[in-house]
Amino acid sequence: MSSTRTHLPDLSSRHDLDDALVAGYRRDGHTLVQGLASPPEVTAYRQIIGDATRRHGAQTLPLEQRDTYGKAFVQVANLWRHDEVVARFVLADRFAAVAARLLGVDQVRIYHDQALYKEPGGGPTPWHQDCLYWPFDTDLTITMWMPLVDVAADMGGLSFASGSWRERALGEHVISDESDEFFEQLLTDGRFPVYEPGRMAAGDATFHAGWTLHRARPNNSEILREVMTVIYVAADVRVADPTNREQEVDLAKWLHGHAIGDLVAGDEHPALPA
C-alpha cells in the first residue's frame, strides 16, 4: 500500500456538537454541522474515494441519454466494502458519534454508504423520502451528506422540507419526475418550510432523518459535485416486513441473510462506537 494511503488522518476524535444543532435536528428533521471534517482530512481522503467511485461505478451512458434518476448523479454504494481506506472514512467514530447524538441513541450501525457525484450539467435530484426504500421497524435512521469539495449554490446543493419527517410517508413516490411534481404541489400549502444550506465547504455535513423530504438542485457549474454519504440506523433496529416493491429490493440487496424480525447486524452492518 502506498504511503499516501497509509498516512491518513485519524477520524476518531469527537466533534463538539452544539446543543442547538441537536434541538434543531429533532425539530426540523435535518441540521448542518460545519467543519465536521477539516480541510486537510477531506483532502487526504478525497482522491481515494473518487478513485473508488470511478472503479466501481457502472454508469456508461452519456448524460443526455439518461433518465431523470441517471441524470441526477453518479451513484456507487457500499464503497467501504471494496476499499479499506474508504472504510476508514465511512466507519469513522467521529461521524457515527454525531449521528447517534442527533438520533438520541447510545449507538448506531451503518446501513450502507453512497458516493453521489453530480456531474457538470447534471440534473436535479427530485423530492423524495428515503424511508420509503428501507424495511426497518423504526424511524431511527439518519443520513450524513458530506461534500468533498466546496459546494456553491449552483452546484447541486440540498433542500429540506422542515418538519416533514413527523408526518412519515407523505406519498408512495420513488425518485422520479412524478415524485417531484407531487411533492412540489404538496409543499405549496406552507406546512413544511423549505430550507437550503446554500454554500457548503468541503468537510461540512448535513444530517437528515429518513422521513425528511429533500431534494438536490441541478449542477449548473462546470465543477464535479463530489459528495460522500453514510446511512446510519439505531443499533437495535430490526428488519420489518416490506410494504412496497422498493423495500423488497432493499431487503434482498442490503439485508440478504436477514429474516423479518432479525436485528440488522453482521459484517456489513457493524455497530460503531459513539
User: Per-residue pLDDT tens for 257-271?
Assistant: 999 999 999 999 999
Residue 32 is assigned to a structural domain of this protein? yes
Q: How many CA atoms lie within 13 A of 91 on its CB side?
A: 17
Residue 84 has φ and ψ, to the nearest 5°, of: -65, -25
- The three-point CA angle 256-165-215 to 5° equals 80
Helix axes 19-28, 93-103, angle to 10 degrees: 60
Q: Is 88 inside a domain boundary?
A: yes
> Is residue 227 a part of any domain in this protein?
yes
Q: What is the CATH number of the domain that holds 123?
A: 2.60.120.620
pTM equals 0.92
Residue that has been written with the C-alpha cell 476499499 in this structure: 83
The count of domains in the chain is 1
Per-residue pLDDT tens listing for the chain (274 residues): 444 555 799 999 999 999 999 999 999 999 999 999 999 999 999 999 999 998 886 555 454 554 554 544 567 999 999 999 999 999 999 999 999 999 999 999 999 999 999 989 998 999 999 999 999 999 999 999 999 999 998 999 999 999 999 999 998 888 888 999 999 999 999 999 999 998 999 999 999 999 999 999 999 999 999 999 999 999 999 999 999 999 999 999 999 999 999 999 999 999 998 7
Q: How many residues comprise the chain?
A: 274
147, with CB counted inside 10 A (0-12, 13-18, 19+), is buried
Residue 111 falls inside a structural domain? yes
Residue 184 covered by a domain: yes
Residue numbers of the domain that contains 196: 11-256
Q: What letter would DSSP give residue 20?
A: H
Residues 197-240: pLDDT tens digits?
A: 989 999 999 999 999 999 999 999 999 999 999 999 999 999 99
Examine residue 26 and state whether it is found in any structural domain, yes or no.
Answer: yes
274 in a structural domain: no
- Whether the CB-CB separation of 23 and 31 falls below 8 Å is answered with no
Q: Is 22 within the bounds of a domain?
A: yes
Q: How would you classify residue 40: left for phi > 0, otherwise alpha for psi between -120 and 50, otherwise beta?
A: alpha
Q: In Å, what is the CA distance from 208 to each residue of 33, 88, 157, 229?
A: 11, 22, 14, 11
